[in-house]
Amino acid sequence: MSDYSSDDESNEEQYVLYKDRPEWKDVTPVKQDDIDEPVVAIDYTKKFEDCYDYFRAVVQKKEISERALELTQTAACLNSANYTVWQYRRDILKGLNKDLHAELDFIEKIIIKQSKNYQVWHHRRVLVEWLQDPVKEKHLTETVLAKDAKNYHAWQHRQWVIKTFKLFDGELEYVNTLLTDDVRNNSAWNQRYFVINNTTGFTEDVLDREIDYTLFHAKAVTENESAWNYLRGLLLHDKGGLSKNKKVTEFVENLYESGNRSPFLLAIIVDMCYEQIGDGGGDSKYSLQRAKELCEALIGKYDTIRANYWQHMLDTLQSSCKDEAGASTSGN
């Protein structure tokens, strides 16, 4: 089996089309079945057209052989997003009882070069499932995430591996390292939530610890939406809700009194007001009047890009209070 680098430009001059290879003379290539006059005709290279003509032929024959396996490697290198190529390659690997660890090495090279390709990650996941061997997976995802810390496919693969094989040890430390590098890394915040949710759960002690952790980072960079979103997620597990956790309300009010007008700070205060109004009041700090003033400030100055949303929120608050007032009058 040739190495993945065989498709590099340095080896192009040595490449021989399949139609010119003696070992393929017994195969009749199958042309792509395009319509007579396509709206946009794709100008395939000779190498691509030749490879896929022979690929269609072996699939049609259901050939399981070493040469078919080598053909799928060329086809995958030419178009690694082709699902059929990978599925057929897996059929051949099983049929020939090939060394799947060697296949892991092969797909790793492709993933490193094309890490935003769903099909290559899926192929690797299937191999790991067959082998029941996740030993290299965390290292691979860390290699990819070192280049792109928010790579969705790498995070999905990492979460699957960690949860399936119970590899949670050290994960919070890894996430903390990523957040130290970039506190705005929403993927790392999401991973933190994922780890806790699947291990200790949000017990009272854990919740208290995580609130401290989040408030520290929110204060350091108040314009960081990721930390504020994580805080909201934490408070879903707090029976008091958004507006009744003393530590959070004190932090929010102190930050507001300091003159900070981060749209995310104002947004959480609006939601605290909405929560208190819905519960029938109970705290003068979180009144309808304050919510209206903050919505107007967000609309006019602090979050103009989402002005329509805040106008909707303002209308909802006013409508809600009118409904409650009407219900109260009717009850009397």
CA dist 317 and 321 (Å) reads 6
* The predicted structure's pLDDT at residue 6: 42
| Last-in-domain residue among 96, 123, 145 | 96
* The predicted structure's pLDDT at residue 324: 53
Inside any domain, residue 331: yes
Inside any domain, residue 321: yes
Buried b (16+ CB within 10 A) or exposed e, 146-156: eeebebebbbe
| Last-in-domain residue among 30, 64, 96 | 96
- Distant-in-sequence contacts of 252-261, Cβ < 8 A, 24+ apart: 253/285, 255/219, 255/222, 260/222, 261/297, 261/301, 261/302
Catalytically active residues, by annotation: 116
Its pTM stands at 0.87
* The predicted structure's pLDDT at residue 117: 96
Q: Which two tokens stand for residue 10?
A: 């340095």
Inside any domain, residue 39: yes
158 neighbors 194 (Cβ within 8 angstroms): no
**Alpha-carbon torsion 194, 196, 202, 205, what sign?**
negative
Segments of the chain scoring below 70 in pLDDT: 1-12, 34-43, 281-283, 321-332
Inside any domain, residue 206: no
Inside any domain, residue 167: no
Q: Residue 36 burial (CB < 10 Å; 0-12/13-18/19+)? A: exposed
* The predicted structure's pLDDT at residue 7: 46
Inside any domain, residue 112: no
Q: Residue 94 belongs to what H/E stretch? A: helix 83-95
| Last-in-domain residue among 74, 96, 118 | 96
* The predicted structure's pLDDT at residue 1: 40
* The predicted structure's pLDDT at residue 4: 44
Inside any domain, residue 318: yes
Inside any domain, residue 273: yes
**In the block, residue with structure tokens 């519960």:** 279
Q: Which two tokens stand for residue 305?
A: 């890009």
How many folded domains does the chain comprise?
Answer: 2
Domain boundaries, position 298: 240-332
